[in-house]
Amino acid sequence: MKLTKPIIRLIDTAITAQKGAYCPYSRYRVGAAVLTETGRIFSGANVENASYGLSICAERVSIFNAVSRGHRALKAVCIVASAAKPCGACRQVMIEFSSKDTELYLVDLNPTSGRKTITKTTVFRMLPAAFDPIASGLLPPNPQNLLRSRQSHRRRKDDRRRAVSRRDRR
């Protein structure tokens, strides 16, 4: 498989993120990185908690990192671990921000030999019959356009308030 420069960067970022995992209970280090449609890469590592339900997977950390910075469309996702595969919750979160073409790279990194095996698939192949917010009618066909139109509507509304405020001052 021939990898492009952005995908090589994505994989390297996920490998680096894996080193930051906080996993004193499972000792299962996972790193993840997402490549957004704008070309930005965001990373994350798994963070465990003594109350296991409060732990969070690396995949969701990287996605939430991107989303919290305004990037809501994923072009590719990379997960690095020994026998790397996303859990069901992470698969559903990936679906929320993916298109049918969003690539998924699973990097099985052997900690003793350092050897890595890369498997390429798509997010949608990993979760057949997913709960799709677009198919269910909860989101329009292109939710990113909706978000942009909401932001521009807010800006127009703010501009009108400023104009009214200026007239009041006269």
Which of 86, 67, 68, 88 is CA-nearest to residue 77? Answer: 86
Q: What string of H, E and C letters represents the secondary structure of the chain?
A: CCCCHHHHHHHHHHHHHHCCCECCCCCCCCEEEEEECCCCEEEEECECCCCHHHCECHHHHHHHHHHCCCCCCEEEEEEEECCCCCCHHHHHHHHHCEEEEEEEEEEEECCCCCCEEEEEEEHHHHCCCCCCCCCCCCCCCCHHHHHHHHHHHHHHHHHHHHHHHHHHHC
User: Is-contact 58 86, C-beta < 8 A?
Assistant: no
Q: Which of 48, 59, 96, 103 is the catalytic position?
A: 59
CA distance 60 to 167: 48
Annotated active-site residue 96? The verdict is no
Point out the residues that are catalytic: 59
